[in-house]
Structure 1
Amino acid sequence: MYELAPNIDLLFAEAGESAADRVRAAAAAGFSAVEMWGPTGKDIPALKDALEQTGVKLTAQLAEPRTQFMIPPKNHAPFYTGLEEGVQVALQLGCPRIVVGSGTGFGGRKRQDQLDELIEIYTKAVSLIDGSGITLVLEPVNVRVDHPGALLDRTSEAVYVARGVDSAQFGVLYDLYHSTVEGEDVEHELANAAGLIKYVQIADAPGRGEPGSGLIDWTSRLAQLHTSGYRGEIGLEYYPTISSAQSVKRIQELVAAP
């Protein structure tokens, strides 16, 4: 049903530190796609060779630096410069998406004002990369466990920003783990975001381990995702509690089920 893309910064560590070696390990395990965090610290030519030699595609990478947009003096120039550089790396690697975030919110300003400023920031970002073929996907993250202080912790607010940017090159990254930890109604959020979700990531909750290590009903959640109309790749962004090869079996079986 879905093409799975293990995160090579978290999975297949058994293959070593090299991103290229982890791509080859993922390919050997039967994957045709992978995702990664930022390109910093990676041997990009070697990674490109590994992707080309295995036929594995890279589905997503992070924007760098992870700018704290709302904190004075609010100098966004490093973000825009880093984004343009990231686009060049993405083009080299054939990666169609760059994941962006909200940064830390500023307690002295109304939340609505900060969300509206995100719209301005990302409208400019989209204009800077226009014509590249790269899509920016905005990720809301949970503040209860993993990202205390982050501004964007609600799927509905990421949808609000995406609607404000109003570009085919901008959408929402829906992370089922973050959404679950925040206590969201998954079916409702997927319905509300229909048409704007341009990438999905998963991990089980609690614990952020592989599917089957927590309490999420994966059969139901995958059915809800399918009903929402999403047909793209699913990134496996979890911390394996067992070997990578063993940890992916459960979700592979579920995705392969009719």
Structure 2
Amino acid sequence: MYQLSPNIELLFTEAGEHPDRVRAAAAAGFDAVEMWGTSTVDVDALGKALTETGLSLTSVLAEPRTNFALPWETLDAFFEGLDKGVEHARALGCPRIVLGSGVGFPGQKRAQNLARLVEVFSQAVERTKGSGVKLVLEPVNTRIDHPGALTDRTADAVTVARGVDSDSFGILYDMYHSITEGEDPAVELANAAGFVDYVQIADAPGRGEPGSGDVDWAAQLAVLRSSGYGGPIGLEYFPTIPSAESVRQIKSIAADA
């Protein structure tokens, strides 16, 4: 059975602020949650809610998200944000921080851009060495949600991960982004074997709760299981019905996956 981790930026928002969303997720039977950035969150209050409920925090985002725009711009903001993110992740017991590629460096070919990401993220790994927090790169679709993003292909994120070549660096495979980009999850997961540290899902089209779109979730979770992935699955979707109702179908399917 997969551990499901609802995203409290999108789910259980009916409950109020982030700590109350943690409590609502616990009341709905979850033992983990994920979230986006921590820069505007009361980290102490959130930590108390996690401790109180016994829930774990499976992922947070590095901020700022789009950090690489021009080759002559400083990367200070990225590294400063990463330092703060690691500090918060450690305080909250979160094992991973999700990185975005940004739009890349204008005037450079894709291969050059990916090589530059390898350099930047290798520095990031060295900077966070010994923290116990793993860095994971998320490829995102450019067809609908993130036009202009550099890493819009799972294979590109794998290329970067191979280049960084560290146990402290992997990729986030978001099945919604992959399917929306026109990829075959079975093919991409096979190519990414050994690099996938985290998985997120939402239905497609629409990015709603599983069951609201066209994805066969029993089949896709079977594909995920056969790929060797056994970690948590983040529920990063925009619910079209109340949060507690929106999770019922995927909880049932995941129980047999």
The TM-score with structure 2 as length reference comes to 0.98
User: Structure 2 CA distance, aligned partners of 1:70 and 1:39?
Assistant: 23
User: Structure 2 CA distance, aligned partners of 1:254 and 1:67?
Assistant: 34
Conserved 8 A contact 1:102-1:151: yes
The count of aligned residue pairs is 257
Task: Give the gaps of 5 or more residues in structure 2.
Answer: none
User: Structure 2 CA distance, aligned partners of 1:70 and 1:126?
Assistant: 21
Q: Secondary structure at the match of 1:73?
A: coil
Displacement of 1:40: 1.9
Is residue 186 from structure 1 mapped to residue 209 from structure 2 by the alignment?
Answer: no
Conserved 8 A contact 2:67-2:77: no
User: Structure 1 CA distance, aligned partners of 2:40 and 2:93?
Assistant: 18
Amino acid at match of 1:83: L
Conserved 8 A contact 1:172-1:198: yes
Displacement of 1:74: 2.8
Give CA deviations for 1:60-98 in whole Å, capped at 9, x if unaligned. 000011233142423111101110111010010000000
Conserved 8 A contact 1:64-1:86: yes
Give CA deviations for 1:85-124 in whole Å, capped at 9, x if unaligned. 1101001000000000100134421110000000000000
Give CA deviations for 1:212-257 in whole Å, capped at 9, x if unaligned. 0000010110000000000000000000000000000000000112
The TM-score with structure 1 as length reference comes to 0.98
Q: Secondary structure at the match of 2:161?
A: helix
With 36-45 and 53-62 compared, the bigger mean Cα shift is at 36-45
Displacement of 1:9: 0.4
Matches within 5 A, 1:19-34: 19-34=18-33
Which ranges of 4 or more aligned residues in structure 1 deviate by more than 6 Å? none
Amino acid at match of 1:26: A
Amino acid at match of 1:40: S
Conserved 8 A contact 1:71-1:104: no
1:138 is matched with 137
User: Structure 2 CA distance, aligned partners of 1:182 and 1:87?
Assistant: 30
User: Structure 2 CA distance, aligned partners of 1:226 and 1:56?
Assistant: 24
- Root mean square deviation, CA, Å: 0.9
User: Structure 2 CA distance, aligned partners of 1:70 and 1:192?
Assistant: 28
Matches within 5 A, 1:107-126: 107-126=106-125
User: Structure 2 CA distance, aligned partners of 1:150 and 1:74?
Assistant: 18
Task: Give the gaps of 5 or more residues in structure 1.
Answer: none
- Percentage identity across aligned positions? 62
Conserved 8 A contact 1:66-1:103: yes
1:47 is matched with 46
Conserved 8 A contact 1:202-1:237: yes
